[in-house]
Every structure is written in C-alpha cells, then in structure tokens.
Amino acid sequence: DAGVTQSPTHLIKTRGQQVTLRCSPKSGHDTVSWYQQALGQGPQFIFQYYEEEERQRGNFPDRFSGHQFPNYSSELNVNALLLGDSALYLCASSLGLNRNQAQHFGDGTRLSIL
Amino acid sequence: RKEVEQDPGPFNVPEGATVAFNCTYSNSASQSFFWYRQDCRKEPKLLMSVYSSGNEDGRFTAQLNRASQYISLLIRDSKLSDSATYLCVNHLSGGYNKLIFGAGTRLAVHP
C-alpha cells in the first residue's frame, strides 16, 4: 500500500525562477492538500484539490498555483520565486472533503532559494 | 491572535518523566483536533486524534476542554524516542478538509 510520494526531495533555485513540485496521494485517497513549512514553524495551508478543482485556499499569493490530474496526483507551481519561499513543501492526501479523515503526509520537498 | 497557539518549548525532561503540553485555539466552532509528531527534517505523522472529551493511547493521553478552548497532550514514562516536535492541529471540515497547525512544541528527553 503506497503512501504519499513527493518529488523531488530537494531542489535549489534562484530568485525569479519557477518551480513545479509533484505529489502522488496514498492509494485510495482522492483529495490532495499542499502545505508550506518554514524553519521553526508549523505547516501552513496553501490549497486543497478535489475532483481536479481547487476547493480551498490559504493566505498565499497567486504566484502559488496548482493542478490535480484525473489519477488524483497533483502539482504545486510557484512562479517568480522569492528568498522567503525557501521551505519544506508538504503534500497531504485524504479521502473526500466532508469527513473527519486524518491527512497523511509525504516526506516533503525541501526547496532552497538562492 | 493565532488560530492555534502552542508553547514552543523546548521541554527538556529525563527518561521516565511525565510531561504535558497545552494548545489553545481561537475558533470556537472547531469540532476536531489532532496531535501530530514531527521528527527533525521529517514529515508530520499523526500521533492521535482528539474528539469530544479526549482519548488515551498507551502512554499518551489527549484531553479537550471546549469551555476554555484548549487541548492537552500528556506523555507518561517518557522515552528517548519521544524526542520530537509535537504539533497541535485544528481540523476544519464542512466542504473542505483543512488542517490548521500550531508552530509546535519541542520535546527533548535525556538519559
């Protein structure tokens, strides 16, 4: 039973570049959420995808966008990277929206902006 | 006021000690909560859920106080392997499934 998988594990970019992070949900899950975790902070909700649509969004600028594919996998895109975008990006999957389902996290992608 | 607030610690305790963390939340309509554990440079992992009056799992007990809007995590007989950051999480549902994390409380258990 495959858990949540994310790629790549580490990434180094420079300011102004664009990045795409990928996530495959746990088998049987259909909902993907993305979180940003800065050093010393708890994860912050970016957005959530269900049925290939963005259902909920946190307090992040439009530079952060995403996509969900028919197989439930998801991408997070960040444009015009800033130094402050350096963080661990976590993907979490769950089943459905209106249920008390715990979210399962992937190992994350550690993004460093130089 | 932050939606979920935790004492960042660190809590430095000897093996075998009992330690308790508190967490406060601001949304009085919140229904459910979780405690997640996060090891250094790893992903958060679900430790336990906290519903209604709380629950117990082995050495771990979580309590919910709705009147005061706080939840607690009690760890008995601490082990070296309990050293980690403990994240208090408010689960918002109803058309979405969103987690609001506290900044975490760091626990260091020493011999």
Query: What digits encode the pLDDT tens for the residues A78-99?
Result: 999 999 999 999 999 998 876 6
For residue A90, give the nearest of A103, A81, A72 by alpha carbon: A103
Asked if B50 and B64 touch (Cβ cutoff 8 Å), the reply is yes
B45, A45: Cβ pair inside 8 Å?
Answer: no
B43, A97: Cβ pair inside 8 Å?
Answer: no
> Which pLDDT value is given to residue A100?
64
Give A53-72 pLDDT, tens digit per residue.
Answer: 999 899 999 999 999 999 99
Give A33-54 pLDDT, tens digit per residue.
Answer: 999 999 989 999 999 999 999 9
**Dist CA A67 CA A46 (whole Å):** 13
Encode burial over A9-43: b for 16+ CB neighbours within 10 A, e otherwise. Answer: eeeebeeeeebebbbbbbeebebbbbbbbeeeebb
Query: From the candidates B57, B99, B101, B105, which should be mutated to test the interface with A, based on the most A CB atoms within 10 A?
Result: B99
Selecting from B41, B45, B87 the residue whose C-beta is nearest the C-beta of A42 gives: B87
User: How far A18 CA sits from the closest chain B CA (Å)?
Assistant: 24
What would the two tokens of residue B85 be?
A: 């950051």
Task: Find the residue in B nearest to A46 (Cα).
Answer: B98
Chain A partners within 8 Å of B49 (Cβ) = 100, 102
Selecting from A42, A48, A101 the residue whose C-beta is nearest the C-beta of B102 gives: A42
pLDDT at A30 over 90: yes
How many helices and strands, by DSSP H and E, does chain B display?
0, 11
pLDDT at B91 over 90: no
**Kind and range of the H or E run holding A109:** strand A109-113
